[in-house]
Amino acid sequence: MDCPIVRDEPRRSSDRLSALTSWDADWAGLKVVVTGITKTGFSVADTLAELGARVVVVAGSDDEDSRRAADTLKIVGVTEVILGQDTSTLLPLVDGEQAELVVTSPGYRPSHPLLLSAADADIPIWGDVELAWRVQVKAGRKTAKWLTITGTNGKTTTTTMVEGMLQAAGLRAIAVGNIGTPILDAVRDPEGYDVLAVELSSFQLHWSDSLEPLASVCLNLAEDHVDWHGSFAAYAADKAKVYAHTKSVCVYNAEQIETERMVQDADVQEGCRAVGFTTGLPAISMIGVVEGLIVDRAFIAERADSAVELAHCSDISELVPRHLVANAAAAAALVRAAGLTPEDVRNGLRAYSDGDHRIAPVATIDGVLWVNDSKATNPHAASASLSAFNPVIWIAGGLSKGVEYDALVQTHAARLKAVVIIGAESSALAGALLRHAPKVPLIHLEGGQTGSGDAVMAAAVAASAEIAESGDTVLMAPASASMDQFSSYAHRGESFINAVRELLDRRASANKES
């Protein structure tokens, strides 16, 4: 009789990983493969090396910055760094043995060959946020409460607002995660933080399972990143993970039933409650708006028949579109769950800055308002911008990321005076405009090849100026990613700002001469 072959190595590895729930756990000698060597990958590898793990880093890039980072990681104790596109698809051995864990950067899709190889070998895959949650507890250092924020749009705005409110309350707090500061850098801070405002992308949530935030929110849900997740359903499922294991309050968008259903379906901790936010009148257990005031009917004892004022909408910014008020209400709900006062909320909003490239007025020239919203990288974000202005000359186009534009165009066709299309491949947007706004003039710019961004943007501004009249708004809200013609959405926004300023200078010179 043949004896069965028992593969107990994955089980032993899994048992060990399940015990790794603090900085002081036994990480020594753990065999880990880390994907990526930019901000996230570097912070992961550096952390694991400090913990005593045996780490091999794999990255598709092989440029000067990557080689410099590799040299630094080797100095701090990383076992090996493998650079280059040809090698980044292979799951390497660690000290000649199979890895026990893979920690991946958000840019690596689940379908990446290296990650598929790890899954086939029953090797667990974590993201940097999962690792951060597991190492945050350390003897002699305070452990921060987490407020987690996701959504198709508004994540960075809301996270920044939360950070400002927490700091206004005198707490040691920082915005981390997808917002730019690697979360592991904050977790490793010697002093520690009282609260972390954690912005989470759908990519980061995909690789996170153990998080137990104090309060959480999914701001909204719309089609995005279908190319990464494989389907909208998979994208939505990963977004919904933000609510899992929440301790105190799940915050949902009362104007979007999908987020409320996420909360209803979430496996939360006993005693956790649901709190809605809205830009309209709030019901009980909601934060909303009454006559220009953001008010709380959720975190007061008398919520059945009264509300407390948190802030005036005008406390937020110069331009206060509806979605910005929604972000402020969501942020207020999160920090109220953490015990902040109405005064803390108000002071935090007054200190808030819109940030770069998010519905930012650039100039008013001859009665025409020029607005930069380069950060509108998908239809949902662009819809929020378009809703704030009428009539609009819309500069749009770029990498579509597999999304559709029909609903966006149908919603806003009546406010469009003209559309100037940029982007190396904007056929999906152009098709939607032809179907649903056939009478709106379309201007297709030449020179759509990769890297032609500055010249194309200058042409887009010039074309818009030819059409615009006093009372119009020229809105650059591309509803697409930027990397076809620009290095980033920030580069795209700066290109627009520069082109508008050059137009302003030309008009000023012409007026002097006349």
Which parts are annotated binding residues? 151-157
| CA 83/CA 107 separation, integer angstroms | 16
Beta strand pairing call for 293-296 and 286-290: antiparallel
Q: How far is CA 160 from the centre of its chain?
A: 11
Beta-bridge partner residues of 421: 396, 444
- Cα dihedral sign, 468-400-256-302: negative
| CA 36/CA 44 separation, integer angstroms | 9
Helix (H) or strand (E) holding 260: helix 257-265
Helix (H) or strand (E) holding 197: strand 195-199
Helix (H) or strand (E) holding 75: helix 64-75
Residue numbering of the annotated binding site for ATP: 151-157
Burial class (CB in 10 A: 0-12, 13-18, 19+), 10: middle
Burial class (CB in 10 A: 0-12, 13-18, 19+), 160: buried
Judge if the upstream peptide bond of residue 10 is cis by omega within 30 degrees of 0.
no
Q: How far is CA 297 from CA 304, 336, 347, 379, 425, in A?
A: 8, 11, 19, 32, 47
Residue pair 102/35 in contact by the 8 Å Cβ criterion: yes
| CA 439/CA 435 separation, integer angstroms | 10
Q: How far is CA 427 from the centre of its chain?
A: 26
Q: How far is CA 359 from CA 224, 231, 355, 460, in A?
A: 20, 29, 9, 18
Under DSSP, is residue 198 helix (H, G, I), strand (E, B) or coil?
Answer: strand
Residue pair 394/420 in contact by the 8 Å Cβ criterion: yes
Q: How far is CA 423 from CA 264, 305, 426, in A?
A: 40, 52, 6
Identify the CA nearest to 412 among candidates 383, 381, 444, 388.
Answer: 383
| CA 460/CA 468 separation, integer angstroms | 12
Identify the CA nearest to 361 among candidates 349, 370, 348, 350.
Answer: 370
